[in-house]
Structure 1
């Protein structure tokens, strides 16, 4: 893999839609997806429930190359309830195949901590499929702990897969 230069994490913009949609489709895998593989005609990437401001993106450039989106993370309140406003939830993380192993996922997770704190959160949660060992290892290495398991919650590719709930404190908001 060529060396990558990562740019600072930023909030997605409407102009990122095509790149993000392609990244999302190209990284689809039964390792993390509970919905079927997307097929044409594709739904828009951004929408009422998925606005650009919910997405953190990191651009990268290879030697001599132009910058392009290497990964994204979607960070949202888990519910619209005031009693839950101190929590943010990661609801999607994707890293381009060409950018894997360069720290893109870790960079996005750490940026999510900072953004969640900026939004006033003191806790962050996520759900990950039980068989997604690489993602679970990343989250554990960044301080997430398993807080619950929904055994056999999904039936994927002929087998039952656990839904693992993970979370961590961000300290005082």
Structure 2
């Protein structure tokens, strides 16, 4: 169930401190292949991580509680119809309120607005909650890269998922 009080909006540069902290405290090997962010690390740190690539979720009682990153899948013109979700984070205190589902739906709507006809993503094989959320939102498993990542001494699959926006 999506809570009606969830507000989804475009990220702005002023969100950087709260998004950086959210990223830092939410980091987990369940969903991350990069090392944990350090305190004080910038969130919008290069041209591939700009505010316009992010939608944020706000709750009236908590402010910004999550984000989704949506970008073109590649820089190729022949692939311009595809957007890719490259990050979805919801703070622990906001989980179970429909924030992740609202962010995924908003990302699909944003992709449509950008002229995309397809959205893809990659999710770690051991991240059952995320895989279930994406499946519930119409994503299907399209491929698996077995043992693609070595995380905390365990080989983890990289699962490729996608869905049409038609």
Scaled by the length of structure 1, the TM-score of the pair is 0.91
In 2, Cα distance between the equivalents of 1:84 and 1:143?
21
SS at match of 1:120: coil
User: Looking at CA atoms only, which structure, 1 or 2, has the larger radius of gyration?
Assistant: 1
SS at match of 2:120: strand
Q: Structure 2: which 5+ runs fail to align?
A: none
Number of corresponding residues: 163
Question: Structure 1 stretches (4+) deviating beyond 2 angstroms?
Answer: 4-8
Aligned to 1:10: 9
In 2, Cα distance between the equivalents of 1:160 and 1:124?
26
Aligned to 1:45: 43
Aligned to 1:125: 120
**Following superposition of structure 1 onto structure 2, how do residues 60-71 of structure 1 map, counting pairs within 5 Å?**
60-62=59-61, 67-71=62-66
Aligned to 1:108: 103
SS at match of 2:107: helix
In 2, Cα distance between the equivalents of 1:7 and 1:106?
11
**Following superposition of structure 1 onto structure 2, how do residues 1-173 of structure 1 map, counting pairs within 5 Å?**
6-40=5-39, 42-46=40-44, 47-62=46-61, 67-171=62-166
